[in-house]
Amino acid sequence: MVALLVLLMVAAVLGIDWAVRAYRRNRGLVSAPGAPVLPLPDWAKLPVEKLTAPAGLLYSRGHTWLAIREDGSLRVGIDDFLNHAMGPVQEVLFLATGSRVKRGDPVARLKQHDISVWVRSPIEGRVKQSHQNVRPEVLRQDPYGDGWLVELETDRKVPDLSGLRLGTRAKEWFREEALRFGQFLTGLSPQPAWPTLQDGGIPVEERLSVMGPDSAAAFERSFLTLSEEN
């Protein structure tokens, strides 16, 4: 019975993912194959080849992942795109245990110096526990494992997985998002004062804090919220 439910959920995710991609392409939110793309400067490029999307997880448009655990709980963390786009964080803040959340509601807040963004739940549920003692360096190095953020529980026998992608689809989507993120960075006006190295290169590890609060808020709206258009 459990195996049948898993197969049904995977089939539903595949169908929904296809429909979402078709919708976004029809709306012009994804470049059509062969469409010309202006090259990005090196400082605006994410290392796409290093972005991982492990199989067995489901991925949200808000750049979180979801794992269905054996006890039925739902573990949530950030994906590798957000891990690289944001860079190292200094602090993670959480909702209180027992808090009820809807899909798209904030469940954790990532702080980088004096700038922060909200991470949103990919699913409806209740906060079973938060990973209060997660260390920033662990979140950075192992976002899909020991860097998990919260566990949710749901009253549904079969959780609503609409809008989620499988890992095999997520890698391709990461490439699209990396390009969109580079275009976002180059389109910032005025351009942030990116710090430079002695060789003239630009270190972009802590992009969020360099952007400033207004641009960080725009990044959150564009990449971390769960609207139909991102």
- Looking up tokens 């027992």, which residue turns up? 98
Contact 110, 134 (CB under 8 A): no
Contacts with 192 (C-beta within 8 Å, 6 or more apart), sequence order:
210, 211, 212, 215
- Mean pLDDT taken over the chain: 81
Average pLDDT over residues 61-86: 93
Question: In the prediction, which pLDDT does 204 show?
Answer: 59
Question: In the prediction, which pLDDT does 202 show?
Answer: 54
pLDDT digits (tens, 9 = 90+) for 105-139: 999 999 998 899 999 999 999 999 999 999 999 99
Question: Full-prediction pTM beyond 0.85?
Answer: no
